[in-house]
Structure 1
Amino acid sequence: MITAKQRKTVYERDGGRCVHCGAWDALTIQHRASRGMGGSKAAERFSNWLTLCLVSNTRLEADAEFARLGRDRGWKVSRNGILTPAEVPVIDYQGRSWLLDDNGGRSLVSAQIGA
């Protein structure tokens, strides 16, 4: 379970905005790699948490096409063990690509996509 302090760190890291659309309000934490049945301690890491608005979070879980976009942009990560969330870049609403670390930070990988 994510604590209030961890939630604040994630929101601050992500600029207080939804990484998909840039919304400022109705924000929530998305688990990039699902916790699975019974939960997983590996899922409770900063690299696995992402800020999304409620609309984007709901679409990511309910809309197959949007979920595909989420996988392409690193908002969702497979739990197959090949790559961890810390190794999969996240592409934000401005087209910037970031690697998220397990200390609540991020590193810019690329300023634009499709350039």
Structure 2
Amino acid sequence: MGKPLSKKVVAAVLKRDGGLCVIQLDGCLRDANVADHRRNRGSGGARSLDGKSNLIAACGLCNGAKEDTKGELRDLLIARGVIIESGRTHEHEAQKARETPVWYPDGRVWRLDDHGGKTEVK
């Protein structure tokens, strides 16, 4: 397994997302306590996938359950930008994360950046 995210990065992601889980699967705890990779690093994956544009706030339940989703639910999470599908390389996947906006549970759509900010997409 790769090196965990720093507490500073996790705190920045949680703050950016208002401390609420962005994923919100059934049974969601709502209060976020982890930074979830939209494109999973897998077993050790590239550090380029640790950019804040690839991270969203999540509760422990949704963080654990997201990667096991299948079918229509997985398709919905991809459409919402919560899951980024694999790319040609890790850098390509990181670029996809920078380009793919996220539909938040409140209906607003945001493009995330690697500085910990977000810009609303109208």
**TM-score band, normalised by shorter chain:** 0.7 to 0.9
Matched, 1:8 2:11: yes
- Aligned residue for 2:54? 48
How many residues were matched structurally? 109
Q: What RMSD, in angstroms, separates the aligned Cα atoms of the two structures?
A: 1.9
Asked if structure 1 preserves the Cα contact closer than 8 Å seen for 2:81 and 2:103, the reply is: yes
What residue is the counterpart of 1:18 in the other structure? Answer: 21
Question: Could you tell me the TM-score, scaled by structure 2's length?
Answer: 0.79
Return the TM-score normalized by structure 1: 0.83
Separation in structure 1 between the aligned mates of residue 58 and residue 103 of structure 2, nearest angstrom: 12
1:26-41 correspondence runs (5 A): 27-41=33-47
Of 81, 105, 111, the match for 1:74: 81
Deviation at 1:51, TM superposition (A): 0.8
Higher fraction of strand: 1
Q: Could you tell me which amino acid in structure 2 is paired with residue 91 of structure 1?
A: W
- List, as ranges, runs of 4+ consecutive aligned residues in structure 1 with deviation greater than 6 Å: none
Shift of 1:31: 0.6
Any gaps of 5 or more consecutive residues in structure 2? none
